[in-house]
Structure 1
Amino acid sequence: MAELSAFEEHRGRLWGVAYRITGSVADADDAVQEAWLRWQALPDGEAADPRAYLTTVVSRICYDQLGSARSRRETYVGPWLPEPVVAASADDAEALVLDPQDRVTLDESVSMALLTVLERLTPAERTAFVLHDVFAVPFPEIAEVVGRTPESVRQLASRARKHVRAGVPRRAVDRTEHRRAVEAFLAAVAGGEFDGLLKILDPGVVWRSDGGGKVTAARVPVVGDEKVARFVQRLARGFDPARMAVLVRDVNGAPGLVFVDPVGEQAAVFAFTVAENGLIAGIDAVLNPDKLRHLDLDAL
């Protein structure tokens, strides 16, 4: 049997790889569990480099998952957003998805905006991008995962990189400025201040909400500061402060908002993209209860 402590040493990295490839907490958990079972069945000493071996194993599992996931998402009701990673602080979030050996910053590589763009890539492009650009896995090792030549994998990663650069605005503000924008948004919503919302929303802001047909949500993106402000104000009318709590928490590596209804055991998670001008350029609202099952509402 392979050394079990070696697997635990790399568990954080494996989960981080799996989550970025699949965009799903549940699928990442399943992939890591399957990798664990395969590792247990491996003869002792079979893997000369446990880190590389396990990364390849979990990546193959996730690559296979993407095929069936794409077919499910083609029939998904409304926009599909990743399952959010929510933590009380940046340190907690980093510990959840990163192996200390990687030293990869959480915010850029796991942002909701990036994961949403990765959904537009082919499974091979997405896998190549995550492994090479985020985790610095060499092309020959990625080739083993996707069944291509190293040169083909290099081209896959290059195409994916171009899509990401075109579709993901870089986070040009620091955490303090990002949090300031989120808190200004919350204050304007709580105060019913339409003008206050307009002041913090970028003119081209895009609102995406993922209800999955399980709860009421906009089935197409809402675009533009005035349209988003009006939409948010309509939503706010259903907020009961006596029953629901709103928390500023790290959502996929940056300050976001979590709405919790302790009585109904329901939640909604909001991730924000803040542009270089300090205004909110994107709001991704995950409302589908199936995508929030992993959250420990009591711990938030």
Structure 2
Amino acid sequence: MTVAISERATWRDYLALTKPKVISLLLFTTLTAMFMAARGWPDLVLLLAVAVGGYMSAGASGVFNMIIDRDIDLKMKRTSKRPTSSGLIGTRDAFVFGMSLTVASFALLWAAANLLTALLSLAGLLTYVVVYTMMLKRTTWHNIVIGGAAGCFPPLVGWASVTGDLNLFAWYLFAIIFFWTPVHFWALALMIKDEYAEVGVPMLPVVHGEKLTVVQIALYAVLTVVISLQPVLFREVGLIYGVVAAWTGALLLRGSWRLYRKIERPTAVSLYKYSMLYLALLFLAAAVDRALLS
């Protein structure tokens, strides 16, 4: 049943379409990457423009995702009240909103930063909407491994906005998020695997069971920690980052090991929540470290 937008939908409902809670961590990696690239404070006008443009781009991807997944969202308890699945906001209006955000984001990032920044942001959007949501999510358990690359673009966007190019360290930031994503998302998938199974989404714990999932989580946690320490060897970061990366990485490995030893919901929830803190602390440490090294 479709609900008339003029009667019920508000700006808060349109804001919900952009998935602000999900975007917050993506935007944080974008902005901290700007500080890393600038080795201190970037231009404040540029910082604000990238923050707004980055939010609009990531928000647009959330809008398109909700449009495409509105059928299965309605059947899952976690997503059943989303504006598109509930019918509060119609498909056409959501699509127009998403396209408006996409165009405005591209124009703002190009004007305030450079074309590379705008293209990288658009690439992240297309990877999430086309590669992950449309092509992989409902067809293979590899969906989050390959499609998760969408979440790796924000630090590239932040870096390119300051420097106009991408160096090896920027790609390390990409790689850290790439290997971190399965740890983070599969912990969530363990928590709601029955819902995924009910709607036919082939997440790893649904297809191959919980035991293989926790093994994969542990392997990706190891790879994440190893990759996160590489920039220290190349002297892109120093002692502050090295200590934080080693400490937070050890906690990530411990959480993964605890989940491997005993697969239960509280442990999965704990790892899921900590994984977000881990990534935030890692990027914050890199930003602070590079500022002090300059």
Same fold by TM (over 0.5)?
no
Give the helix-richer structure, 1 or 2: 2
Give the strand-richer structure, 1 or 2: 1
Task: With the length of structure 1 as denominator, give the TM-score of the two structures.
Answer: 0.31
